[in-house]
Structure formats: structure tokens, C-alpha cells
Amino acid sequence: MLNKNKKLQSTRDGFGEAILELGKKNKDIVVVSADLAESTRVHHFAKKYKNRFIEVGVAEQNAMGVAAGLALSGKIPYVTSFGVFSPGRNWDQLRVSVCYTNANVKIIGSHTGLSVGPDGASHQALEDIAITRVLPNITVLAPSDFIETKKATIAASKIKGPVYIRFARHKGPDINTNKTPFTVGKANILLKGSAVTIVGCGPVLAEALKAAEILAKENIKVEIINSHTIKPLDKKTILKSIKKTKKLITLEDHQVVGGLGSAVVEMLAENFPVPTIMLGVRDTFGESGKTDELWEKYGLSDGHIMSAVKKIIKK
Amino acid sequence: MKRSGIKELKTIANILRQDIITTLNTAGSGHTGGSLGMTDIFAALYFNILNHIPHQPDNPNRDRLILSNGHICPILYASLARAGYFPLVKLKTLRKINSQLQGHPHAGSLPGVETSSGPLGQGISQAVGMALAAKMDKKHHHIFCITSDGEHNEGQVWEAAMLANKYKLGNLINIIDRNNIQIDGYTKDIMPLAPLKDKYITFGWKVFVINGHNMKQIVATLNKAKAFTKKPVVVIAETILGKGVSFMENKYPWHGIAPNEIETKKALAELRNGK
């Protein structure tokens, strides 16, 4: 089920294609933009559906409130910005106007992770999964490639209630094919193995796949789970895998604290605790650089994943 | 719902003030001052101005009322109860556990409450969103939003004001509880807002300034506001915090406390003697 063509596309383009399709199919779909229309790929929607595109300018708190008001009036708003600004800057509004109100708002956090690159730390959201999954009533999605982001965006429109989708700026290889199923709350097993379970999310999973290919030549067969839905976590799939391998590595382009890894470890601590290595940014801010350079420097690249695998299978 | 005349509205306002006092006394905590200050406006809204059907709280053509300064929800709850949205006896449950009457409004908990509020500045953005939706759908209902003057310290309020101007939201009416008081003191000392009227004019809004306790002026102005559809409208209602109870009027500590037994007795006596 893995995509072999290794075509390079961006997750944000997957969102852009999906929002245009949604706009065509459903007249209740509206977009709220905070002056990042082109970067977040809603500029085509803006041109085609002028009446359903609200540009609020650089005002993310207002953007979130406006989205809540639109949702309470029967619309399905997608409010878009960079993850650092939304849900970063407008977290109180997400908490009260959206989650406490259970308003049908879809929050789009583009440019998340170190993969943002040259803009540097101020623009690299490494905390957004932590601050969203902690809120009641919200669904949190982190798709891994163009195709999955498109499916996640469309799936979000069918959920009644707040949904947060985080994705990235850069172009990465396709991991999934068009035939790869996408069901919110159901993790996908990308690779079957027995040495260790790697649970990850987002485009950085491509690094895990690279590592797996090399490890397979050394007869180390890792199991890779794409946990695209951080909330609600697919306890069943993850637990089944962990009971088989009895070892866990988590992987995300996010702080190692509070994100997907923490969600998995929390669940296993209560059900089936196992030796664990969590891969993510280790309590530091990012910096300017290229995506692959940053993943290498901050411990997320295939080399680091391979080291982690070798370390854990010795335990 | 039938529209009450001026004399009747004054009577209703007096009853609502008594409801606020007894409700807050039973609750043991809450925001008395602003609730009393806005009572005349709420009486006018719920018993004359708003297009609404209390037993149809979800009617799609209803006028919306958003209470952005959610802490004065005692007046909202009392108005909704008296208008028939829910039984009056529920007012006794304000702020108690398992109650539909939450300490700050919660969407879904109580019929007639349009959204959740409390953190200042959020309601007005939501009101703008609702006004935009109505415009998109070519609907003719109005969106009323109550804000406080202290609330205008929050930048989000001005973000919303700019957006309302950008899209010329003529279906939006913001009523400001201009009582010159906020939690820590008088607005002129904490964060001066004057000239508030000028600010809104330069933000592109149509501005009315009224005496928030003159029922005739309230009704006339709110009707003018409804009829004015070229720009968003703001009604700066000059009010007295704690209006109706002599020992509360203009005293900022009464922003956020509830009356005790003795204070309740005194307040009710004043209100019943037609002060």
C-alpha cells in the first residue's frame, strides 16, 4: 500500500486541492483567512468563491471568533494560518469560542514542525499538537503527505465539532496511494514487522520509511504505524502492535513533550507499558535551515531513527 | 412576541432588577453592578426590540443577541426567564453545580443563550461572524452584541470592529455598557478609553450615544439602529453601575460581588418602593 513513485508534493497543496473540491460540493463551506491565503493554499478558493471567503487580515483572535460565529450560523468554516499563530496566538478563542461552545470549526495549522525551514524558530510550530489535544471536544489530525492531507481535509468536513489539522510547508515524498484508506481515528500500518513498533505522524514518517528500508537489509524488520489521528488515538491498533513487538519508538516533528508520543505513552502506561524511545524536538526551539538539515540536527532523520531502533532492540 | 410599551418596559425593568438581586443573593457570587446597569437595555431588547419567539429558541429568522461581556449574565438569564425561554424557578440555580445557568454563558446549556462567553472580546468577533453569515445568506435578522467599556481594552474588539467596517455589516448592532468602571477601578484610571465615540466614528461605524436608563430614548435609538443598514452601528449606552440600588450605584467593588442577606433586604425594599 506504500506509494513507490516518491513524487515530491506538499501537504499544504493537498489541503489546497481539497478545500477547492469542498467548496464546489458544499455551499456551506467557507474559509476564514488571516493574510496567509497563498501560503496556506486558499487563494484559489478565494478567487472562485469570493462570497464565501473572509479575509480578516493579521488578526488571528478575531479569525477564530468569526469562524465560531459562522459555524453557529450553520456554516462549515476552515480558518487558516500558520500553526504558531493559530492555534498559537488565539488559543483562548479556540478554547472558549470553539471547543467550549462545540462550534463546527475546522482549524488549519499550516507550516508546522521544523520542516518550515528558513523562517526559523518563531514560525516553526512545535507545540501545536500539545495545546490542541488537551482541549475537550476537538479532533486532532496530522496527515503525512499530499494525498492524506486531502483526505483529512475532506473527512474533517463530515465531523460535527472542532477539528484541528496540522501540516507542513515543504515538499515531501508521497507515502500513501490514492487507495490508502483514511478513517479518522483508525491508524494505518504502513509496514509490518516484529522488531519494534514505530508510531509516528506527519511527513517525517518518510524518514522512518527510509530507515526501515536500510534496517530490513540488516534483517531488522520494524513495524511502522501512521497515527494520523492523535485525538482520538487508535488504542486498538497501537496496542495490538505493541503486544507483538513489546518495544516502542515514537516520532513527530514536534516537541517530544505533549504531542503524539505523549498520547501514545499515556495510553500504554495504563495498559501495556514497554521500553520506549521518544523522538521529537528535545525541549529546544528550532532555527533557520533546510528541512532535511534540521531533521538531522534535531534528531528526527533516518539516521537517528536507525540508531534508536538498534538501541531499543538491545534492551 | 408582543412589543411592550414604554410604561410596561419600566415595570419589567424593575422586576428584572429584583430578579437580579434575589438570584445573585441565592448564588452567593456573581456580578451585580453591570447586570443592574444594563437592565433597562435588556428590558427594551427582550420585550420590544428583538424579533424572537421564546418557545422557538432555534428559529432561523430570530434576531441574535450575543452577550460578549458574559459576566453580566444574571440580567440575560432573568430576561430570558421572564420572556418565557425557561421556567423562572431555575434562576435559583445560578452558579450551582449541575445547573443550566452557568456562571458565564455556555452555548447549549440554556435555551436563548447564543454562545459561550466570559473572556472579554470574544463575543463581538462571534457576532461579526454571525452577521457575515446572515449577509451571505441574504437574511434579514439583526445581530445585537452587548459589550462592556472595559472590554474595549482587548485588541480583539478592535480587530472585530475593523472587520465589521470592511464588510459594511449593516445588520450588526453593538451596544456598549459605558459605565466608566472596570474590575480594578474607573476606566479613566485603569485604561482611559475616551474619546470612545470618536474612535468608533473613525473605525467607520455609525454611532449613537444615549442615556442607558431613559427607556424612551433606548427604544427610539434601537429602532433607529435596526433601520440603519449602511454601516455597523454602535450604541454607547451611558449607564450607572448598580443602577436602581442607591448603595451600589457607581461603586466599582459592586462589579463582581453578590449582595448578602442585609444588602439584599435593603436593595429589594428600595426597588419595591419604586425608586
Q: At B242, phi and psi to the nearest 5?
A: 80, 15
> Would you give the distance in Å from CA B58 to the centre of its chain?
20
Instruction: Select the residue of B106, B114, B160 nearest A65 (Cβ to Cβ).
Output: B160
Separation of alpha carbons B166 and B205, rounded Å: 10
Q: Which of A17, A38, A60, A213 is catalytic?
A: A60
Chain B closest CA to A52's CA: distance in Å? 7
What is the reported pLDDT for A3?
A: 84
The answer to whether residue B203 is domain-embedded is yes
Minimal Cα distance from B162: which residue of A?
A: A56
Any B CB within 8 A of A59 CB: yes
Question: Which of B58, B116, B139, B171 to mutate against chain A (most A CBs within 10 Å)?
Answer: B116
The answer to whether residue B85 is domain-embedded is yes
Are B159 and A62 within 8 A, CB to CB? yes
Q: What is the CATH number of the domain that holds B245?
A: 3.40.50.970
Domain count, chain B: 1
> Within 10 A of B78 (CB to CB), how many other CB atoms are there?
27
Q: Give the residues of chain B that fall short of pLDDT 70.
A: 275
Separation of alpha carbons B252 and B236, rounded Å: 19
Tell me the CATH class for A188-309.
alpha beta
Any B CB within 8 A of A51 CB: yes
> Within 10 A of A119 (CB to CB), how many other CB atoms are there?
14
Instruction: Select the residue of B132, B134, B136 nearest A66 (Cβ to Cβ).
Output: B132
**Could you give the C-alpha distances from A34 to A55, A60, A64, A97, B273, in angstroms and in order?**
6, 6, 10, 17, 54
Taking only residues 114 to 153 of chain B, the set having a beta carbon closer than 8 angstroms to any beta carbon of chain A reads 114-119, 121-134, 136-137
Separation of alpha carbons B67 and B110, rounded Å: 14
Nearest to A38 by CA among A3, A81, A94: A81
The answer to whether residue B1 is domain-embedded is no
Chain B closest CA to A258's CA: distance in Å? 25
Separation of alpha carbons A183 and A236, rounded Å: 14
Say how many residues make up chain B: 275
> Within 10 A of B2 (CB to CB), how many other CB atoms are there?
6
Nearest to B160 by CA among A11, A183, A62: A62
B161 touches B200 (CB < 8 A): yes
Chain A closest CA to B248's CA: distance in Å? 31
Strand residues in chain A grouped as ranges (E): 8-10, 29-33, 53-55, 76-82, 106-110, 139-141, 163-166, 171-173, 188-191, 197-200, 223-226, 229-231, 248-255, 276-281
Comma-separated ranges of CATH 3.40.50.920 domains in chain A: 188-309
Instruction: Select the residue of A73, A101, A102 nearest B130 (Cβ to Cβ).
Output: A73
Nearest to A64 by CA among A45, A40, A88: A88
pLDDT (tens place) for every residue of chain A, 315 residues total = 688 876 799 999 999 999 999 999 999 999 999 999 999 999 999 999 999 999 999 999 999 999 999 999 999 999 999 999 999 999 999 999 999 999 999 999 999 999 999 999 999 999 999 999 999 999 999 999 999 999 999 999 999 999 999 999 999 999 999 999 999 999 999 999 999 999 999 999 999 999 999 999 999 999 999 999 999 999 999 999 999 999 999 999 999 999 999 999 999 999 999 999 999 999 999 999 999 999 999 999 999 999 999 999 997
Minimal Cα distance from A99: which residue of B?
A: B116
In eight-state DSSP terms, residue B63 is P
Are B133 and A100 within 8 A, CB to CB? no
Any B CB within 8 A of A181 CB: no
* Exposure b/e, A207-234, CB count within 10 A at least 16 = b: bbbbbbeebeeeebebbbbbbbbbbebb
Taking only residues 124 to 143 of chain A, the set having a beta carbon closer than 8 angstroms to any beta carbon of chain B reads none
Positive or negative: CA dihedral B241, B243, B249, B255: negative
Chain A closest CA to B102's CA: distance in Å? 12
The pLDDT tens digits for B23-50 are 999 999 999 999 999 999 999 999 999 9
Any A CB within 8 A of B270 CB: no
Exposed, middle or buried: residue B190 (CB in 10 Å: 0-12, 13-18, 19+)? middle
Separation of alpha carbons A60 and A83, rounded Å: 11
What is the reported pLDDT for A7?
A: 78
Comma-separated ranges of CATH 3.40.50.970 domains in chain A: 8-173
Number of CB pairs, chain A paired with chain B, less than 8 A apart: 107
Host domain of residue B177:
6-272
A60 is catalytic: yes
What is the reported pLDDT for A4?
A: 81
> CA gyration radius for chain B?
17
- Select from 3.60.110.10, 1.10.10.60, 3.40.50.300, 3.40.50.970 the CATH code of A8-173: 3.40.50.970
The pLDDT tens digits for B205-233 are 999 999 999 999 999 999 999 999 999 99
User: Which residues of chain B neighbour A91 with C-beta distances below 8 Å?
Assistant: none
Nearest to A36 by CA among A9, A15, A65: A15
- Give the predicted TM-score (pTM) of the model: 0.97
What is the reported pLDDT for A1?
A: 66
Any B CB within 8 A of A304 CB: no
